[in-house]
Structures are given as structure tokens and as C-alpha cells.
Amino acid sequence: MTLGEKQTIIEKEVLLPKQSRKEKARDLQLLQENLELILKHQDMILASPELFHSGPVDAVIGLIYMGGHRAPIGVLLRLWQQDLLMALCPHCAGRLYIFSAGGSPLSGINRATGICASCKQFVRTGLPSIGMVLKALKELKASLNRQRILRTRGQYFSFKDGLAGEPVPDVILEPGITPVSFEELLCRLKQHDTEKQ
């Protein structure tokens, strides 16, 4: 595609709809109750973009000065496969699946929240290295759900004329993926289990 003089292509992250505190808490409870189901069907989730980009809104990976992003369940599964966001549960020494992590690359201080696969508890902990969060953030940024937009500068400001020209609406070139809700993801996984029996 050849761009005109006043045209640029921008990428914009496709975000899940905003949720109330109650809805966020419900999603985390569903993650806690269905972690085993999600791990069992990770190949199905990784193969389907609308499932890949689903997940609880409170699953976030970020660093001060570098920003942060919501972590879709597909990215979390990849990170868990690489043992990047994994730790030992301090309560039972089971495998802790971390779904939210952040910190500062300058001080090295970090915090993470995960769910233990054995005792099913939410655990807040620190990771051995801020490098784990940095690698996780890099993987997350490479997998963001983005839409591509053609933006044409039609309107501009000049001190002589003020606002001049006519606005030109953006044209969506690639709409990005519309993920299913986290509840819908879990319903599909359970339905898949039922069909296999």
C-alpha cells in the first residue's frame, strides 16, 4: 500500500471492555477454580486467536518506566510453558502460576501474584529476578492484539487561520481480534470436555 503525503499507519491495542470490581473479582475466582481446565486445554487456547486473547482483566505485566499491558491467557500459557512466570508456593511448595507481575528495573524490586496448582490459594510473592518480568513483558508486547489504522491528516492548526481543513475519519485496515469473554472461554473448554466423552 502506497501512503499519501498526509497519511500514516498507526497501530492501536485492542482492549477488553472495562469491568467493575465485582466482575474483575469474579474473573479471578474463575481463574482460581478453573486453572487445571485451562492448563489441560492449552493447545486449544493457543491455536484459537479469540481464545488466546481472552483472560481476566486483572492479569497485568508491567514495569515502571516501560509501561504495562493486560496479559491474555494465551500469553500466560506461553510464559508458563517457558517457566518464566513460575515459582514455588510458600504454603505447600506446589507450582505457583503467576498471572500478574510488576516492578522497577532500576531498583530490581518486584511483586507478583499467582495461583498455586496444588492448594489453589492466591499468593503474592517476589520473583528471584526483575529479569523474569522484563522477559515476560517482552513476550507480551510481541503478542499484543493490535488493529492497524490508516490516519489521514486533514485538519491542522495555524496561528493565522486557526483550525483549518476538514477532518478525515480513520480507516481500519486490520480490525484486530475480538476475544471472547473469560466466562465464554471457560464454557467452550467445558463443552469441549463434554463432547470428547
Identify the pLDDT of residue 193: 86
Kindly report, residue by residue over 44-63, the tens digit of the pLDDT. Answer: 999 999 999 998 888 999 99
What's residue 51's pLDDT?
Answer: 96
Share of the chain above pLDDT 70, in %: 99
Split at pLDDT 50, 70, 90, the class of 146 is very high
What ranges do the domains of the chain cover?
18-143+186-196
Helix (H) or strand (E) holding 23: helix 21-40
Predicted TM-score (pTM) of this structure:
0.87
Report the b/e string of 39-74 with b at 16+ CB within 10 A.
eebbeebbebeebbbbbbbbbbbbbeeeebbbbbbb
Residue 196 confidence (pLDDT) above 80 = no
What does the mean pLDDT of the chain come to?
92
pLDDT in tens, 61-79: 999 999 999 999 999 999 9
> For residue range 181-193, what is the model confidence (pLDDT) as tens digits?
999 999 999 999 8
- 3-state class percentages of the chain: helix first, strand second, coil last, to nearest 5: 35, 30, 40
Q: In this predicted structure, what is the pLDDT of residue 149?
A: 93
Q: Supply the pLDDT for residue 154.
A: 87
Q: Quote the DSSP letter at residue 72.
A: -
